[in-house]
Amino acid sequence: MLRRRIYLRALFLILSGLFIGTHVGCTAEKPPVAKEPTEKAQAATSPGKTIDVTVVDKAGFEQAIAAHRGKVVLVDYWATWCGPCVKQFPHTVELWNKFHDQGLDVVGLSFDEPAEVAGVQKFLAEKGATFENLISKVGAQESSADEFDFDGALPHYALFDREGKLAKRISPSDPTTPFRPDMIDAAVEELLRVPAAK
């Protein structure tokens, strides 16, 4: 009898553990990208504050952008280990708060290692980055610039118009064009002025 009670208790713990393990970090929203070859990364941070981060490759990233058709999309290419990215990130959150109602969607694309997603989620929660967040499947490996079709210098900003077409890239490390954060604001506002095609 005692043995049976221990067995039942163990079974209950295992099942409840599985339930928590699969549901921490989930939201009611459907993931914007295909399940294959991407996957959902979750970490056990404090419930209610966890921000979903989806691991993407090139195809997953393209699908994620396409899912925002009709909206202007600002992609912030960043990493927790990148000082200028971290410094600049609150500005991206500000843009999201300021222009979301006018049709701006923001997508964060982290170049941290997928295995280190917990640190990424912690950072995002602290900054209130409640927009869509992705993480590079290859981290910041040499192939990441080709995978995500940019110059590989973080931070980097890409703007897609309401048709889902790449409209502008802003790279703070472009030595030919000195960077100011309000360059991003101006580009966002310009694209928002173009109405969605009917």
Partner 1 sequence: MRKNFAIALIVSVLVAGSAFAGKFNKVLSIGEQAPAWPSITGTDGKQHSLDDYKSAKVIVAIFTCNHCPVAQQYEERLVELQRDYQAKGVQVVAICVNNGEEDNLGHMKERATERGFNFPYLSDPTQVTGKLYGAQKTPEAFVLDADRKIVYMGAIDDNWMAAAEVKKPYVRNAIDAALEGRKPEAQEMRATGCGIEYAR
Which chain residues interact with partner 1 by CB under 8 A? 81-84, 140-142, 145, 151-156, 171-180
Backbone angles phi, psi at 173, to 5 degrees: -100, 15
What CA dihedral angle connects 164, 50, 76 and 195, to 10 degrees? 30
160, 188 Cβ separation under 8 angstroms = no
By beta-carbon proximity to partner 1, the closer residue of 126 and 151 is: 151
By beta-carbon proximity to partner 1, the closer residue of 128 and 139 is: 139
If you search the block for the tokens 């295992």, which residue do you land on? 14
Closest by CA to 80, choosing from 113, 58, 50, 105, is 113
**88 CB-near residues (< 8 Å, 6+ apart):** 76, 78, 155, 172, 181
- 24: helix, strand or coil: coil
By beta-carbon proximity to partner 1, the closer residue of 16 and 141 is: 141
Least distance to partner 1, CB of residue 195, Å: 32
By beta-carbon proximity to partner 1, the closer residue of 39 and 179 is: 179
Backbone angles phi, psi at 42, to 5 degrees: -135, 150
Least distance to partner 1, CB of residue 108, Å: 16
Least distance to partner 1, CB of residue 172, Å: 4
Radius of gyration of the chain (CA): 19
120, 135 Cβ separation under 8 angstroms = yes
By beta-carbon proximity to partner 1, the closer residue of 101 and 142 is: 142
Least distance to partner 1, CB of residue 9, Å: 45
Count of all residues that appear for the chain in the document: 198
Least distance to partner 1, CB of residue 152, Å: 6
